[in-house]
Structure 1
Amino acid sequence: MGRAFWVRVILGLLVASAVEAADVHDVRLWRAPDHTRIVFDLTAPAEHRLLTLKDPARIVLDITDTALKASLTSLPLENTPITLVRSGIRDGDDLRVVFDINAAVDPRSFALKANAQAGDRLVLDLYDRDAKTETTVRKSTAESSRRDIVIAIDAGHGGEDPGAIGPNRLREKDVVMAISRELYALFERDAGFKPTLIRSGDYYISLKGRRDLARQRQADLFVSVHADAFKRREANGASVYALSISGATSTAASYLAQRENEADLVGGVRLSDKDELLAGVLADLSMTSTLDTSLKLGDKVLRRVDTIAHLHKRNVEQAGFAVLKSPDIPSILVETGFISNPGEARKLGTSTYQKTVARAIHAGIRDWFMDQPPPGTLVAWQKQQGGREYIIARGDTLSAIAQRFKVPLARLRDHNGLDDSRIMVGQTLKIPTT
């Protein structure tokens, strides 16, 4: 045997040793409105192949040189097209996972490299072939034939992306979902408003996908709810953000925007999910009133949040949040507090405080739209007819409300049959014509 032979043998051994066998140490499943996602957590990168088989219908995933160390029997298969998941070994060391399905799906798979927030993963998405796109109808009332103001409420993170983690494993995605649902309930009770939840359950949506859903539902406002973490545990306070088309207004704003934009690294973005909102769209933003409206509306929300929480900054901050890059929809991001701060995490984890935060955000948004209702809406028509209503929020006084709407205090009392100036949170006042 010559020298060349031994060189080839040694090189082969070196290559073989460099290829690290992988283990699947966890398998997770989430159901979204239009697809089912299965995530395989790996100890190392692994190649895979996706197959579709018929009679009976099956989706097959072959993962090279990989061993299954997790259970497949406890996956929540209810309301999914999957009826059974099984596994086996093929070609010696390769893992085969078979999904029996009972509905037509379009399968897509991709690998995600390890990053600061998650390890190597293999993702399988089963898209419903007959999925219906949810739309929000801007319903009109028979009385006025005027449409509702649509509020798109975006609970940050979701699914395999938990967001920031606070003390006692408090997860950002759970806190902001609770606040968002409460905010939805508040707007659902308001005449002239139509809320819609961008994420209605525990599943992942890309940042671009969130903007697209708001546009599909013809939203008048996009509000993204978060409770992030910072490098220092002592960082505290709530904030309101709008998009920046240049630099961030502070170091903290830049840091938080970077963290939020990395959500797609955790959740995974398919190759077809390319962001088309590039420099041209951002230039368009600067030439329209969208960003200006976002800043002014954000200030209304910030003023209301100031009545129930400490503010991190006393003005609306700006940074390059990808989720806010809608050129035609005013968009704000509300950081309800730092979940990394033990004191704020304790409050954010309670239902009482979650409702308090939701009421403040709700009141701030209402403040803006009652003053600046979009043309053609019921609220705009009511304003023209002098039939405005106002729901009292925490921190309101009757004299301040009278001053805000430019009506005499005595007239406001008489118009609502009040004997004095005592009011209650949640009470609805009728605002007389000036």
Structure 2
Amino acid sequence: MKTAFRTVLLLLLSLYSLTGLAQNMIEGVRIWPSPDNTRVVFDLSDQPDYSYFFLKQPDRLVIDFKNTDNIAELTQLPKDGDRIKRIRTSLSKGKRAVRIVLDLSNQYDEKVFALPPTGPYGNRLVVDLHDRQKTPLVTRKPRLKNRDIVIGIDAGHGGEDPGSISKSGTHEKKITLSIAKRLQRIINAEPGMKAEMIRTGDYYVNLNQRTRLARKKQVDFLVSIHADAFHSPRPRGASVWIANDRRAESELSKWLKNREKNSELLGGGGELIKRTNDDNLAVFIADLTKDKSLEISDRIARNVIAELQKVTRMHKTQPQNASLAVLKSSDIPSMLVETGFISNPYDFKNLMSRTHQEKLAKAMFNGIKKHFYDYPPQDSLIANMRPTKHKISRGESLSVVAQRYNVSVQQLKLANNLKTDVVRVGQTLTIPRVN
């Protein structure tokens, strides 16, 4: 009944437009609450002609749509959102106009913009209401001794951005969040490790905001989870992507232009960058940070590929380099995992399987865990939990073992009463604890 009424109303409004009345229609309203902002999307039949302003006591956002009629249901608000009390219409000054009022619970920073038709969506007007920040987003807190190693998990897309869409209409954003939550659970079950989610529900997080959130949460590593797509159903398999040197260099140069503001993000090395008057020294220190980040990213990516090969077909068997926004921060080691092709029927079937999602999450975890057990940060709990003995395997040298456990070759030789650097396969070494 409602569908029939809506169809008739659309036809009537279309006839009205032919007789010189409103040319545009508000066909629907969608609301996407998130921890830091709320996005309101007005679906329209044509490109919007609009203006807006705020009123106080009480706080309201008023939007005037020119030459527009409204057939959208405005009474439905999500239960988990508290920034918007009500959306309603009000009297408009124009005869062929609609005035929409958002009754707000507080004052917010706004961003209002129109979007053209793309993917499953037509013309839209987007309203983003952001909480006003009382403190800088990137303030670093001192880390505690024996701390957890923090892994940031970024579920790709979300909210208004569905990502790729399967033939059956399943959105990539749904798959990525499901896998991300499984990875979160596995990481949090591991002593000495903690997961931090970039998004926890179906809402959109700006790409730049994703890395800012990762930095705010002081992650040691960031993994972004996606599902690939292609115009042909033939390609299939997983792949792992890391930042290329060119992107890292570009981001590094931007940071160095504003050393005073950005250096705090780099921890101890950042203080040196901020205080030195020597530009060459600043570049050298920042470059070391970038190189270390890329080295860690590449090492973990290779670990994860080795684990993924055990549970799924691989589209690429080596880490791929790309200039991707979520991988842009030269101070945060990171990787992007394409878990399969949503456009391939075999991959899609697997990606919709809870069992397969669990295997993918476990493989990612195993690859990440291997690195941090081999090279734990010195202030982490895992660094103090590591083995005190190591058995030499084929191809291992004293320097390789020293690097793995973050000790010097000399410390290894003293702990094991070694006169030379020569070790033999099967030999067991004592690993000294170094504070």
Q: Normalising by the residue count of structure 2, what TM-score does the alignment of the two structures yield?
A: 0.72
Stretch deviating more after TM superposition (122-131 or 311-320): 122-131
Correspondence for 1:367: 370
CA contact (8 A) 1:49 1:61 kept: yes
2:125 aligned with 1:122: yes
Correspondence for 1:376: 379
Correspondence for 1:150: 150
2:114 aligned with 1:108: no
C-alpha deviation, 1:130, in angstroms: 6.8
Q: What is the 5 A alignment of 1:202-281?
A: 202-246=202-246, 277=251, 280=254
CA contact (8 A) 1:63 1:96 kept: yes
Say which SS state the counterpart of residue 368 (structure 1) adopts.
helix
Compared CA separation, residues 129 and 226, structure 1 to 2 (3 A): same
Q: What is the 5 A alignment of 1:32-431?
A: 32-76=34-78, 78-88=80-90, 90=92, 91-115=94-118, 118-129=121-132, 140=144, 145-246=145-246, 277=251, 280=254, 288-383=291-386, 386=388
Compared CA separation, residues 115 and 166, structure 1 to 2 (3 A): closer
C-alpha deviation, 1:101, in angstroms: 2.3
1:138 & 1:362 partners in 2: Cα distance?
26
CA contact (8 A) 2:228 2:343 kept: yes
C-alpha deviation, 1:179, in angstroms: 0.6
CA contact (8 A) 1:347 1:353 kept: yes
1:170 & 1:135 partners in 2: Cα distance?
38
> Aligned AA for 1:212?
R
CA contact (8 A) 2:138 2:212 kept: no
C-alpha deviation, 1:433, in angstroms: 6.0
1:227 & 1:78 partners in 2: Cα distance?
27
> Aligned AA for 1:277?
E
> Aligned AA for 1:52?
F
> What whole-Å deviation, never above 9, does each CA across 1:201-232 have from its counterpart, x for those lacking one?
11111111101111111111010000121121
> Aligned AA for 1:367?
K
In the alignment of these two chains, the number of paired residues is: 348
CA contact (8 A) 1:28 1:38 kept: yes
C-alpha deviation, 1:387, in angstroms: 8.6
> Aligned AA for 1:103?
N
Unaligned runs of 5+ in 2: 1-18, 257-282, 402-427
2:301 & 2:337 partners in 1: Cα distance?
9
> What whole-Å deviation, never above 9, does each CA across 1:34-66 have from its counterpart, x for those lacking one?
111101122222222222223333221111212
C-alpha deviation, 1:137, in angstroms: 7.5
Correspondence for 2:27: 25
Unaligned runs of 5+ in 1: 1-16, 248-275, 389-399, 407-430
Compared CA separation, residues 348 and 134, structure 1 to 2 (3 A): farther
CA contact (8 A) 1:281 1:327 kept: no
CA contact (8 A) 1:32 1:203 kept: yes
1:362 & 1:217 partners in 2: Cα distance?
19
Say which SS state the counterpart of residue 336 (structure 1) adopts.
strand
Say which SS state the counterpart of residue 202 (structure 1) adopts.
coil
Compared CA separation, residues 339 and 305, structure 1 to 2 (3 A): same
> Aligned AA for 1:203?
Y
CA contact (8 A) 1:138 1:194 kept: no
CA contact (8 A) 1:77 1:83 kept: no
Stretch deviating more after TM superposition (374-383 or 26-35): 374-383
2:112 & 2:230 partners in 1: Cα distance?
33
C-alpha deviation, 1:344, in angstroms: 1.0
Compared CA separation, residues 51 and 281, structure 1 to 2 (3 A): closer
> Aligned AA for 1:58?
R
CA contact (8 A) 2:22 2:68 kept: no
C-alpha deviation, 1:340, in angstroms: 0.8
Say which SS state the counterpart of residue 31 (structure 2) adopts.
strand
CA contact (8 A) 1:153 1:222 kept: yes
2:342 & 2:192 partners in 1: Cα distance?
34
Q: Normalising by the residue count of structure 1, what TM-score does the alignment of the two structures yield?
A: 0.72
C-alpha deviation, 1:88, in angstroms: 4.3
Correspondence for 2:268: none
C-alpha deviation, 1:375, in angstroms: 2.2
